[in-house]
Structure 1
Amino acid sequence: MTFNFNSLLLVTLSTVVVASILGHVFATNDDRKLLDSFEHVLNSLAPSPSRGGWQPIDDTEDPKVVDVAEFTVSAENSIVKHREIEFLRVEDGKSRVDNNGITYQLDILATKFSELNEYSVVVFENSKDHVRKLISWD
């Protein structure tokens, strides 16, 4: 009887020790995965060193740049309903490419109630799904 009890105790303790070790290994592995995913998010927010900082937009009549500028006017008109701003042209601008997409900083010329105005706008375009977001309108 004593032999059976000691055997049962030994098997139970061995199972607890093995389970504890495996639990620790899996928990450490999960923590490492979490840390890796967190580092991935941080790295995706940092600008890519190969892509650099702000670059001037040489061709302000480039259809892509004009499309982004027209988007900003449309977005601003939808936010402030009583304004009717009409896009005329892009005066100047620069863009910055990072891991998440392209940020445009544009100076646009537009009319509001037949009055000529220059606006400085910032737009972000997500590179994966090409969704644009108006960041600022001054």
Structure 2
Amino acid sequence: MAHKSLSLLCVFLAILLASALNEASPALKRGKIVGGWQPIENPKDPEVVAIANFAVTEHNKEAKTTFAFESVVKGETQVVAGTNYRLDIAVKDGSAADSKQYRALVWDKPWQKFRKLLSFEEIKG
């Protein structure tokens, strides 16, 4: 009898574990390491571009600048309580002919509709 109860418990725990893994965040499903920085494979991905646009818009609000988003040059993600995006972004500054690159750090928690710009700094050299 005890052996049968133990078997049922193991089956129940296996089902529970499988269910939890199935509900894991999309970042974990894509094979990202929790806590480690992983390169973004496609900087033109619409989600990445949206986060970069958000970073430029927020920086413009905070610093009272008029930067215009051009492109994501490269980026990385880090799974935390959400996802951190570290993006190198090309922007135009008003009528300047040349674009400049900035590194933005954005914390995103899409299930809470939360997104926050943590830093936005020019990349020199």
TM-score, length-normalised on structure 1?
0.60
| 2:91 aligns with one of 79, 91, 110 | 110
Q: Distance in 2 between matches of 1:50 and 1:88?
A: 29
One-letter amino acid of the counterpart of residue 135, structure 1: L
> Paired residues, what number?
89
Percent of residue pairs identical = 35
The aligned runs of 1:1-138 (5 Å cut-off) are 51-81=34-64, 83-98=65-80, 100-115=81-96, 116-138=99-121
Aligned Cα RMSD in Å?
1.9
Shift of 1:126: 2.1
Structure 1 unaligned blocks of 5 or more: 1-47
Q: Which structure features the higher share of strand residues?
A: 2
Measure how far apart 1:128 and its partner are. Answer: 3.5
Residue 135 to residue 52, structure 1, CA distance change in 2 (3 Å): closer
Q: How many angstroms does 1:80 deviate by?
A: 1.9
Displacement after TM superposition at 1:50 (Å): 5.7
Q: Which residue identity is paired with 2:82?
A: G
Tell me which amino acid in the other structure corresponds to 1:114: S
- Structure number having the greater helix percentage: 1
Structure 1 segments (4+ residues) deviating >2 Å:
48-52
Task: Give me the whole-angstrom Cα distance separating, in 2, the residues matched to 1:114 and 1:67.
Answer: 23
